[in-house]
Amino acid sequence: MRRNRNAKIVATLGPSSSDKDTIRRLFAAGVDVFRLNFSHGDEAAHRASFAILRELEREAGRPIGILADLQGPKLRVGTFAAGSVMLDESQPFRLELDTAPGDARRVGLPHPEIFAALAPGAELLLDDGKLRLIVERCGADFADTRVVAGGKLSDRKGVNVPGVLLPISALTAKDRRDLALALDLGADWIALSFVQRPEDVVEARKLIGERAAIVAKLEKPSAVEQLEAIAECADAVMVARGDLGVELPAERVPGIQKRILRTCRRLGRPVIVATQMLESMVTSPVPTRAEASDVATAIYDGADAVMLSAESAAGRYPVEAVDMMSRLITEVEGDPQYLQLMNASRPSAPAGAGAADAVCCAVRHAVALMHASAIVCYTSSGHTSLRVARERPEAPVLSLTPHLRVARRMALAWGIHSVHIEDVADVDQMTAKACAVACQEGFAQGGQTLVVIAGVPFGTPGTTNLMRIATV
């Protein structure tokens, strides 16, 4: 099933999309990578979803990526004796380690790491920023605050501490259990929530090894400050605009999104734009015009993928949301201005560029000059395909790999159509296989030109050094 677009779609599975028929329809509508949100659902539900997706993959004959999204250290207040309270502007309010049910004067906050990082003048945001508190006095087990923006506060609402680097790991005990399950089931991508520093990614890498690739979710100001270092450590990045929009002024988020996309493009890291992209389609069969423009802007800016969350997981129109996302991407990519923007925003060669970068740069020029129908890229690790995608060439990238796990991971990257094949032994076999697969997958027909790249000796990662022009 060839997708006639370059940017990819990530869709979240949930109550509205847990059965086999709906998942099949989502895939047919355009989903490239399925996200399993480990903040919800139990082990049995996740196992069932994995089984359905792998069965669907075998039926479709196309690699399907699975992204396991870990919950991360979600910080929450405790409970209230009455279930909720009203906090008035300017009133005092205490947060403390004591987890006894709270009232309008105090509530438990079972997170000593927050108190360890607070100082007078620090701001606390509750319930996704709806309530705002300023710390006036604090200690190792309490914080006396004053309410700046009041409202209703109920049990276990989230707490954000903007501008403060918290002394916590990005992996909680629950995350470690969920990670073990996801790796056991064969997840292709692991998304780390609330990454604050590069060390968070390094810690996860020690646990994951080569069993899965890592997506660093950027939703903390501290992560944005270390954007380049985090992107270097991770395999991909997600612009998680939900919590990022809570901890930063709303007017700063669009500029930060563009900065993240530019940085990831330069480093050759796939980047996903996520959160509330078609939010109104949770309850409506069509999006707002503003949402359509939001998706289009992400595509014009060069995003590798755009993501649906509640729209596909809990909404009334999950398949329609995917279909709309696919149509929006296709429309943008058909605009002549889109290609102009991709060419104008092409980053310069990375520091220390080698033979592989030179070959991939030459491929883009060859495709433009010869109007090749496709680029056929032989890859063992996926890195060559990602280098080609970084160039945003005019022709689609047919990525051939002998490793199924690599084929599945490439489902997230811009412009890459991944095929799992047996390895080739020589240049003649390489060319013949490239032509056969390109025809079989609908990328070329007799008489058309292909640009083929590979590494010699074959099957050796990091040896991309060969480009060949082939006629089908």
Residue type, 338: Y
Tokens for 217, please give them: 């979710």
- To the nearest 10 degrees (0 to 180), the angle between helices 355-370 and 383-390 is 50
Task: For residues 76 and 95, give the distance between their C-alpha atoms in angstroms, rounded to a whole number.
Answer: 11
DSSP states of 232-244? HHSSEEEEEHHHH
Residue in 5, 217, 392, 409 annotated catalytic: 217
Is position 47 annotated as part of the catalytic site?
A: no
Contacts of 176 (CB under 8 A, 6+ apart): 207
- To the nearest 10 degrees (0 to 180), the angle between helices 173-185 and 198-208 is 50
> 63, 58, 67: which is closest to 411 by C-alpha?
63
Is position 206 annotated as part of the catalytic site?
A: no
Is position 76 annotated as part of the catalytic site?
A: yes
Task: Determine phi and psi for 258, rounding to 5 degrees.
Answer: -65, -40
Contact 268, 390 (CB under 8 A): yes
Residue in 35, 241, 387, 408 annotated catalytic: 35
Is position 275 annotated as part of the catalytic site?
A: yes
Hey, how many other C-beta atoms are within 10 angstroms of the C-beta on 354?
12
Residue in 24, 76, 211, 266 annotated catalytic: 76
Instruction: Give, in order, the Cα–Cα distances in Å from 21 to each of 12, 13, 66.
Output: 15, 13, 18
Burial of 471 (0-12, 13-18, 19+ CB in 10 A): exposed
Instruction: Give, in order, the Cα–Cα distances in Å from 82 to each of 52, 100, 105, 343.
Output: 43, 12, 13, 59
Task: For residues 438 and 64, give the distance between their C-alpha atoms in angstroms, rounded to a whole number.
Answer: 19
Hey, which residues are catalytic here? 35, 76, 217, 275
